[in-house]
Structure 1
Amino acid sequence: MSDDKRIEAYLRDLGAALRQLPEKDRADIVSEIRAHLEHRASEGRLEEAIRALGAPAQCARGFLEELKIQNAFADGGAAKSFGALFELASRRVTAAAGLFVSGIFYLFAIAFAFIAVAKIAAPESVGLWVDPARDIVALGIVDIGENPPEELLGFWMIPFAAIMAVLSLLAGQWLARIFIRLMAKRPSAAV
C-alpha cells in the first residue's frame, strides 16, 4: 500500500474515532495529524510515525482525554472535575489518585450534610459527646448507651455540620482541580 493510501486510511479511522467531537475540532486534529504523517512520509519514516501515534482509536483517545481535562479545568465545577477524574481513573494514575483523595472529601461533605439533617430529625442521637472519664469522643449519629455524657453542641450541631459539609465540598473541589492541573501539565503518552 502506498504512503498516501496508508495516511488516508489512518486519517479516516482517526476521524471515525473522533466522531463525538464537533466537526471543526475533528477537522483540526485530522489536519494536524495529516501534516505530521506527510512530513514523516517525506523523510521515509511513515511506519515509525504511525507506530509512535498508535492505532487511530488510541490516538483519538489521547486527544479526547486531553479535551476532557481542559474542559474540566476551564469549567471548574465540582461535577465536571469529579466526572473527568472518574472517566480517566482507569487509564491514568494521577486521575485515580485525584478521584480517591477528592472523593474522600466529597463523602465527608455528604456525611456532614446528613448529620445536619439528622440532628433535626433525631436530636437526642446526633451530636458531639466528650467523656474523658470513659475516653469517649463521639461526633455524629451515635448510640452512646444508658449513661451518656452531656452533648456539647446541642442545636449548634446543625450550623457546625453544615459549615463542615461546605468546607469538605470546597476541599474536595480544590483537590480535584489540583489533580486535573497535574494531568494538564503531563500529557498522556498516547498523544
Structure 2
Amino acid sequence: MERQKSKRKWILGIIGVVILIGGFLRWGVLQPYLIRQPSMEPGLASGDRIVVNRLAYRGWDPTRGDVVVFAFPKDLKRTFVKRVIAAEGETVELRDNKVFVNGDVIEEPYVKPGDYPPYGPEVVPAGKVFVLGDNRRESEDSREWGLLPREYLLGKALLVYYPFQRFRFFTI
C-alpha cells in the first residue's frame, strides 16, 4: 500500500514537471505565431502557423536571411514577420529588382517575382537591421518605415507546423 502511494507521488511529480517545462517552453522559449498577411509569400502564406524561438537574439546577432517576428515600430502592439536582409554595418541598396548588400547582389530564391522601386544605398547603423518581406510588392517593411531597432525583435522563426502539408524547418 505504501509502495503504491510512493509510486503515485512519483508519477504525479513527473507529470507536474512535464507540465511546468511545457509551459515554460510554450510561453518563454517557443511561441506559436499565425501568419496573417501575404507579405512573405510564397514561403509563408496567410494562415500558416509557425514556431518562433524567443531566445534567438538574446546574446546572438540577427544574420542575413533570418525570418524574424518583431514588434511593428509604428504600433508596438502589432507584430510582423519579415526577413533580415542587412545587419549593422552593412550597406543595402535595391535597384533593377535586385538587392545589393555591400555592393554585391544577394541570391534570393525565396522572393516572389515582381517589380519594386529602388531604395538606398543606406548603411545600417549599430543596433538596427534592414528587413523586407519576400513578397516585395505586398510588404510594408524597412523601405517604408525605416530600419528596425534590434530591441524590437521578438524571435526567430524555426518551422512551419500547420498546415501539415507545408511543414518545414526554416533555412536561408
Write 1 or 2 for the structure with the bigger share of helix: 1
TM-score greater than 0.5 by the shorter chain: no
Rg larger for:
1
TM-score (norm 2): 0.28
TM-score (norm 1): 0.26
